[in-house]
Amino acid sequence: MGHYLPSTEKERAEMLKAIGLNSVRELYRDVPDCVYREQPLNLPEGKSEMEISACLKQLGEMNKQYRLILCGAGAYDHYIPSIVKYIPAKEEFLTAYTPYQAEISQGILQSIFEYQTMICELTGMDVSNASVYDGATAAAEGCTMCRSKKRSVTLVSAAAHPDVIATIRTYCYGVNAEMKLVPAKDGATDLNALKEMLTQDVASVYFAQPNFFGLFEDAEGIIAAAHDAGAMVVMGCNPIALGLMKTPGELGADVAVGEGQPLGMPLSYGGPYLGFMATTKKNMRSLPGRIVGETKDAAGNRAFVLSLQAREQHIRREKASSNICSNEALCALTAGLYLTVMGPNGLQETAQQCLSKAHYLAEELEKTGGVKLPYTGEFFHEFVTVQPQRDEILKKLEEAGILGGLPLGEDRILWCVTEKASKKELDEVVRLVKEVLA
């Protein structure tokens, strides 16, 4: 890595003269004077490396660290094998940017290709892209790729994640397309209401499996109704739940999308995360972003290339349906490593533990007599409860070093249990809830 060599005063003067200016300030002549800072920033003197280390440690101690996290709602606290953290931290991967010159980026391209292959296996789809920014973006892009001149309306389940709904709505607003919410009933998509809303101008239906409230949807019914009306289906998936449930491919969905954070990425205060997208061979030319393909070089050796390049990234930008031209390569590498290390059996075991432990906590909370489950549908690792003194319960748990579930309206809590929670810890949660309700 080279050193940064700033330009000299003489060189800056020559550059300004070449563009007909006298000062750097004139470059910003359209900026109002009121936003300029006339005085320099009041910054402290520089410190040594040892002093900086001590300062950062002191700042870190201000953070609240929980020994047990029972809050999910889109970002989940799963166990991450140490090797999954170690390999992406190697500078060969950490500092690599993007494969603009694909012929000399074979290592990065191979890691993306392997990631794509695993996403296809996980979702049961034919083609995956190299990832997009996050799960909400993937959902919005999935709905966009289903739109046509004759069909432009997007139907979104009201039981989907609020952030996903908001992102899809923003995408639709940007192109003057209509988005309609399909009502939820008993915590899941109202299938009868969906059927009534499936008019001839509907391009796609989006729903999540499991949904925001943790419930499994009637995926077969939703997909069949949409297809009968000539609409496509974008299915949002929890990648860990795919270790147990039917894949979007098996169910007949047209596009599978989701948030890849559970695949080896720490919570990290909200990012960076990973949006995965996969679709059928029929729709692969509508899939946005990068797609890496496998080929052979002049010597007949295995090689990798960027496929389907004559799209938004390059020569057809004016006709593009998407502006996704980048991907979360480091996060995709992490997800691929996580799936490799866990393997099919490990992923299935993780999903089974999440399912079993969530049901155990739900059953034990109900036994307290003061906690009820408002929905009767089957759930994965998240569930909603209704109880009095909600805020007192969450405060009691926080005092014990436990981050409780996400507070919802009407004294409701959205709980999440992953494989990291032990029976002993869950029993402690139940005991603390009992103390508040007593």
Domain with CATH 3.90.1150.10 in the chain: 68-79+344-437
Write down the pLDDT at residue 245.
Answer: 96
Write down the pLDDT at residue 2.
Answer: 46
413 contacts 387 by C-beta, under 8 angstroms: yes
Confidence tier at 307 by pLDDT (50, 70, 90): confident
User: Domain 82-338 - what CATH class?
Assistant: alpha beta
412-416/406-408 β-pairing: antiparallel
Integer Cα distance of 275 and 261 in angstroms: 8
Write down the pLDDT at residue 101.
Answer: 75
- Rounded mean pLDDT, 369-373: 95
Integer Cα distance of 88 and 85 in angstroms: 6
Q: Residue 438 CB: number of other CB atoms within 10 A?
A: 7
| Encoded amino acid at 128, one letter | S
Please provide the average confidence, as pLDDT, over all residues in the chain: 93
426 token code pair: 């869950």
pLDDT at residue 311 tops 60: no
3-state helix vs strand vs coil in the chain, percent to 5: 40, 15, 40
Using one digit for the tens of pLDDT, what is the confidence trace for 334-361?
Answer: 999 999 999 999 999 999 999 999 999 9
Using one digit for the tens of pLDDT, what is the confidence trace for 40-61?
Answer: 888 888 899 999 999 999 999 9
Using one digit for the tens of pLDDT, what is the confidence trace for 103-115?
Answer: 788 888 999 999 9
Write down the pLDDT at residue 1.
Answer: 41
Q: Which residue has the tokens 């004139």?
A: 26
Integer Cα distance of 261 and 134 in angstroms: 8
pLDDT at residue 121 tops 90: yes
Integer Cα distance of 6 and 313 in angstroms: 33
Using one digit for the tens of pLDDT, what is the confidence trace for 227-281?
Answer: 999 999 999 999 999 999 999 999 999 999 999 999 999 999 888 999 999 999 9
Q: Quote the DSSP letter at residue 387.
A: -
Domain with CATH 3.40.640.10 in the chain: 82-338
Integer Cα distance of 351 and 138 in angstroms: 23
Say if residue 279 is exposed, middle or buried (CB neighbours under 10 Å; 0-12, 13-18, 19+). Answer: buried
DSSP assignments along 273-331, one per residue: --EEEEE-GGGGGG--S-EEEEEE-TTS-EEEEEES-SSTTTTTGGG-S-------HHH
Integer Cα distance of 224 and 416 in angstroms: 30
437 contacts 388 by C-beta, under 8 angstroms: yes
Confidence tier at 68 by pLDDT (50, 70, 90): very high
Confidence tier at 39 by pLDDT (50, 70, 90): confident
Q: Which fold has domain 68-79+344-437?
A: Aspartate Aminotransferase, domain 1 (3.90.1150)
Using one digit for the tens of pLDDT, what is the confidence trace for 271-305?
Answer: 899 999 999 999 998 999 889 999 998 899 999 99
H/E stretch holding 140: helix 135-144
